[in-house]
Amino acid sequence: MLPCTGRIEEALILQAFEGGADGVMVVGCLEGDCHYISGNLRARARVERVAHILESIGIGNERVRMYNLSAGEGAKFAAYANEFSDHIEQLGPSLINLARSKARKPESVLEEA
């Protein structure tokens, strides 16, 4: 459990991609409104660093995004979640998931046979 987006490490986001995520959205409090002063700003910097890493290895920097909203903005959260989900669906599976499904294919062919 994360008490604040400021607790998010770059490695944690990368592990989500290792775990099979096609995209990761980080949702923090509104900028300037962090209970821990600068947690969400630190999170944004880390998200940007992860985006840079993902771009450098061909997975693409568009697969991770940071959003900001207040805890009372449920409708906005849903809108952001839908927006990001649509965005990732448009991008399609990440290179990791493509490689995994490619690696799994021979087995399924065998099973069918």
Partner 1 sequence: MITGTPKPIDDVLEMLEPYNKVVVAGCFGCVTVCRVGGEKEVQVLASTLRLAREAKGNIIEIKEVCLERQCDPEYLEQLRPYVEDYQAVLSIACGAGIQFVAEKFTKTPVMPGINTGFLGVTERQGEWAERCQGCGDCVLHLTGGICPVSRCAKSLFHGPCGGSAKGICEVSPEVACGWQLIIDRLKSLNQMDRYGKLIPYKGWNTSRDGGPRRITREDMTQ
106 binds partner 1 (CB under 8 A): no
As beta bridge partners, residue 27 has 67
**Residues 15-54 as x/- pattern, contact with partner 1 by CB under 8 A:** x-xx----------------------------------xx
Cα–Cα–Cα angle for 29, 35, 37, rounded to 5 degrees: 95
69 binds partner 1 (CB under 8 A): no
φ/ψ of 106, rounded to 5, equals -55, -35
From the CB of residue 29, how many other CB atoms can be counted at a distance below 10 Å? 19
Residues that bind partner 1 (CB under 8 A): 9-11, 14-15, 17-18, 53-54, 56-59, 94-96, 99-100, 102-103
